[in-house]
């Protein structure tokens, strides 16, 4: 699963990054969404523009048209040459991403409160129910979205659900959760979130487990050996090389 397309190979959350991952053969993308001032979901990680663009201020203060004139590749820096500046890269809408690549499955992180209804409406309007996983690091956002979307859209576990699953794995009992997938790092601080017990108990309930964000080849190999269902990475090129080495071929089913 290509994390924001890639934060390393291309300017993150741009159509160039998503296209790069697609060109490598990926069918699974991860992105983040904020709402614009005129109520459009856009693919952008931060709440403010400074880190990646040539502008400042909150994303939500700008219209989609205004964001279209911002240089989303301005601060992409390998190494200090800023190769994406002035290349016409803008902040894409979720709709642009979904319609440009109609065969991809998209994992979406809700980065702001109050956009849950907009997310559900966008999914319905674009008929994305079978092409999207919605999650958030804020439990209330996930719960609110589930209430709006009912069972029509797959969701990932929020922080409290994740904690319950990890604790349940220790005692050998899977708690009842509404999430369809657990998307986690291996460690959260000193807490070992992802281990064989967690993987086994999640998969025993017909749910999937995805690990993020894995950019090291040895770590990728280790997680594949553990049997995770998905790896979220900034290095889709390296993960592809590993899978080709292991299987002797490459297809989207390997991703």
The residues carrying an active-site annotation are 3, 45
- Pick from 75, 112, 107, 76: which is nearest to 94 by CA? 107
What is the Cα–Cα distance from 119 to 35, expressed in whole angstroms? 9
Enclosing H/E stretch for 33: strand 28-35
CA angle (98 as vertex; 95, 102 as ends), nearest 5:
145
Angle between helices 139-149 and 116-126 (to 10 degrees): 40
- Pick from 208, 205, 239: which is nearest to 224 by CA? 239
What is the Cα–Cα distance from 45 to 159, expressed in whole angstroms? 19
What is the Cα–Cα distance from 126 to 94, expressed in whole angstroms? 10
169 torsion bin: left (phi>0), alpha (psi -120 to 50), beta (else):
alpha
The HSE-up count of residue 129 (CA atoms within 13 Å, CB side) is: 10
Pair 89, 72: CB distance under 8 Å: yes
């Amino acid at each position: 699963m290509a994390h924001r397309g890639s934060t390393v190979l291309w300017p993150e959350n741009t159509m160039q990054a998503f296209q790069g991952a697609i060109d490598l053969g990926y069918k699974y993308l991860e992105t983040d969404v904020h709402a614009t001032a005129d109520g459009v979901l856009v693919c952008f990680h931060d709440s403010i523009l400074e880190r990646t663009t040539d502008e400042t201020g909150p994303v939500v203060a700008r219209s989609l048209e205004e964001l279209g004139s911002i240089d989303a590749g301005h601060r992409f820096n390998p190494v200090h040459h800023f190769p994406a500046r002035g290349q016409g890269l803008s902040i894409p809408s979720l709709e642009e991403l979904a319609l440009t690549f109609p065969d991809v499955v998209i994992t979406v992180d809700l980065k702001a409160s109050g956009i849950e209804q907009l997310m559900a409406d966008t999914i319905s309007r674009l008929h994305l129910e079978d092409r999207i996983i919605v999650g958030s690091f804020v439990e209330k956002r996930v719960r609110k979205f589930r209430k709006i979307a009912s069972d029509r859209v797959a969701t990932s576990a929020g922080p409290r659900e994740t904690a319950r699953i990890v604790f349940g794995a220790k005692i050998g009992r899977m708690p009842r959760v509404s999430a369809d997938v657990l998307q986690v790092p291996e460690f959260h601080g000193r807490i070992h979130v992802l281990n064989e017990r967690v993987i086994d108990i999640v998969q025993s309930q017909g749910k999937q487990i995805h690990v993020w964000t894995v950019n090291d080849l040895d770590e990728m190999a280790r997680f594949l050996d553990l049997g995770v269902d998905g790896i979220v990475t900034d290095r889709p090129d390296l993960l592809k090389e590993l899978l080709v080495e292991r299987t002797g071929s490459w297809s989207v089913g390997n991703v």
